[in-house]
Structure 1
Amino acid sequence: MDIMHNIVTEFILTGFPGLHPQYYGLASAVLFLVYVVTVKANAAVFYLFATNKSLHKPVYYIILNVSACDLLFSTTTLPKIISRYWFQSGRISFTACFVQMYLVHYLGAVNSFIFALMAFDRYYAVCHPLRYTNIVKKFTVHMLSVTAWIIAIASPLLMVIRAYPLPYCASNIINHCYCDHIGVTVLACTDRAPYSFPAFVGAMITLLGPLAFILFSYSSIFIEISKVTNLGNCGKSLSTCSTQLIIISLYYVPRCFVYFASQVGIKFSADLRIVIIMLYSLVPPMINPLIYCLRAKDIRECLMKQFYKEKSRFHQFTMNRPAH
């Protein structure tokens, strides 16, 4: 088995299999733009948080965790696929592929748990407002956030530990934009069923477990809101949940669609499947900060304050610049 295992020393990421070479430059430019926007937008969220004490609230600490996940996921996946089209270099070493596989699944699990924490925050804010400040404290959010990052380690680690020793002795071409468990293990020269089913169960637990809690939380929230007779209060309650609900929906809806579509026999072409996966993997990290800034009142106010401050500095600079 060791001899067979060592035949494959690297993998080749195809990216989008049906993409014509004449569009490689355009693809790399678009992906590079997505990465730059993602990094700058999420870095701006961290900057606003660091420079505005008004944002040092439990709900924004949760948002910081989402931004951290988004930044790390994009940095884990995008540079390699950009180089695939920019430099025609889709090669990734055997070990690096499994490291990327681990990080992809790990960060996905962390995101899922953080979204459950986000739902927990909104549940107490709407359903138990008088107890909110006593339950949802900064310390509580910090502890739950750290717990999310820790418990997410186990399932992806076991997944990689079981997949790494498999014999990879034939094709080394991964029909994907990054290394994930399915894309890699289908290349193993052995029956992957004993390995794929536990991985599927682990993925469903990290995906559907938090999702079940999220559905419970928001169902309770909507039931509570339906009892409110004052339209103003009802609108305010809905507004406090809308930002989180949009972000959570962007993460879960397409993933669940792909999973359940495959279970009921709906088939996608390889290109379409990869496009859908890339859309739900890379678009939310890019647009989540925009959603925060447009929907979260505190962040919007801090952003406008920062904008006017920079505008004032620029105006002062131009006024004080000596005339030639």
Structure 2
Amino acid sequence: MSDSNSSDFTNPSTFILLGIPGLEAAHIWISIPFCTMYTIAILGNFTILFIVKTESSLHGPMYYFLCMLAITDLVRSTSIVPKMLSIFWFYSREINFSACLTQMYFILSFSAMQSGILVAMAFDRYVAICDPLRHSTTLTNPMVAKIGLSMMLRGIMLILPHPFLARRLPYCRTNIIPHTYCEHIAVVKLACADISVSSYYSLSVALFVTALDVFFIAVSYTQILRAIFRLPTKDARLKTFGTCGSHLFVILASYIPALFSFLTQRFGHNVPLHFHVLMANMYLLVPPMLNPIIYGARNQQIRIRLLQPFTHKWT
């Protein structure tokens, strides 16, 4: 009898997502801030895309990279929130095995792409401040397209083994995932086989991508700060540094939740499971919500274009 039950889970047709274990009674209340963050992320990022597309003065490298960032934010948040809300609101917990792996792939690959785009934005700021006379000739439209394509291909290729490694594992324990989405480690932990290859590859990619990208960002800003401190007046230094403010805030909003989620997942063995799940969701929801707000509030050209319909109305 046990053999039969075991074979039923070897190739599960569906997984069951529990939502946030231990907080099932509060799912409706938890859905309110999550739905609010997602709505702000959708409206904010589509607004950024619309403004950049319709305003010819914003057709430049920094704003093209900003559009790429908005697209990755939209894909990442949309990969988890609709299914999560269906769990919270309609108890629709089943997810097809292939759909689960697809969701996993989109989350991981677009997270890697987002990290790469932050590096590209740091490079844009470096050239604009340290070598402004060559900015227009260095970051041409074809070069921006090549950088964006390379970041996309990096995310696609590095993450591609994840779903294939997860698919080949036998799942003979259970098909219940104690999470709101198909998070990689939460899925492979259900396997009744050695998951060291999948686990070590996931850890290696996460460390490689994050360490490499943070290194390049740090090098760029080291050179930027050196250039800023060489400026003759305090006003010039503050004005120049202000052009990097939005990007720095976006970097902090992206990496801090991701780092916190990663550390609690890997090393926080005494941390309650529901806290792990909440942090994993915040890491995918907070940056997409904050990024358009940060750029809308701090970037004068976007702010002027955003407020233009209202200023015309009252003049």
TM-score normalised to structure 1 length: 0.90
Q: 1:245 to 1:90 in 2, by over 3 A?
A: same
1:204 aligns with 2:178: no
Change (3 A) 1:18 1:5: closer
Q: Is the 8 A contact 1:5 1:166 kept in 2?
A: no
Q: Which residue of 2 aligns with 1:127?
A: 130
Secondary structure of 1:182's counterpart equals helix
1:300 to 2:303 alignment: yes
- Percent sequence identity over matched residues? 33
Q: Deviations over 1:58-106 (max 9, x none)?
A: 1000000000011111111100000001001121111110000000101
The residue aligned with 1:16 is: 20
Q: Distance in 2 between matches of 1:260 and 1:11?
A: 26
CA distance in 1, matches of 2:37, 2:155: 26
Pair 1:192-2:192 in alignment:
no
SS in 2 for 1:152: helix
Q: How many residues align?
A: 310
Mapped partners of 1:191, 1:7: distance in 2: 16
Name the CA shift for 1:78/1:39 in 2 (closer, same or farther; >3 Å): same
More displaced 10-residue stretch of structure 1: 153-162 or 8-17: 8-17
CA shift, 1:211, in A, is: 1.4
Distance 2:146 2:274 in 1: 41
| Shift >3 Å, 4+ stretches | 2-7, 257-267
Unaligned runs of at least 5 residues, structure 2: 1-5
Structure 1 residues 183, 296: CA separation in 2 closer, same or farther (over 3 Å shift)? same
Alignment of 1:79-118 (within 5 A): 79-118=82-121
Tell me the equivalent position of 1:247. 250
**What residue identity is the alignment partner of 2:19?**
G
Taking a change above 3 Å as real, the CA distance of residues 180 and 249 of structure 1, as seen in their structure-2 partners, is same
8 A Cα contact 2:9 2:173, kept in partner: no
Gap runs ≥5 in structure 1: 316-324
- Which has the higher mean CA deviation after the structures are superposed, 295-304 or 77-86? 295-304
2:79 to 69, 76, 79: 76
What letter matches 2:27 in structure 1?
Y
The residue identity in structure 1 corresponding to 2:22 is G
Please give the root-mean-square deviation of Cα atoms over the aligned residues, in Å: 2.0
- Quote the residue 2:175 is aligned against: 172
Deviations 1:225-268 (A, max 9, x none): 22223111101111111100100111112322443466666742
Amino acid at match of 2:238: G
Distance 2:118 2:51 in 1: 21
Once the two structures are superposed, the pairs formed by residues 22-33 of structure 1 within 5 Å of their partners are 23-33=26-36
Q: Residues of 1 paired with 2:268 and 2:20: CA distance? A: 23
Q: Which residue is equivalent to 2:217?
A: 214
Q: Does the CA-based 8 Å contact 1:28-1:83 persist in structure 2?
A: no
- C-alpha contact 2:264 2:271 (8 A) present in aligned 1: no
Report the Cα distance in structure 1 between the residues aligned to 2:249 and 2:70, rounded to whole angstroms.
Answer: 15
Q: Does residue 259 of the first structure (1) align with residue 262 of the second (2)?
A: yes
Point out the more displaced range, 257-266 or 234-243: 257-266
Moved more, 203-212 or 71-80: 203-212
**1:29 Cα shift?**
3.1
CA distance in 2, matches of 1:168, 1:247: 39
* Structure 2 CA distance for partners of 1:83 and 1:70, relative to 1, 3 Å: same
1:121-175, Cα deviation, whole Å (9 max, x unpaired): 0111112222222212222112111221122111211111111110011121212
Letter in 2 for 1:93: N
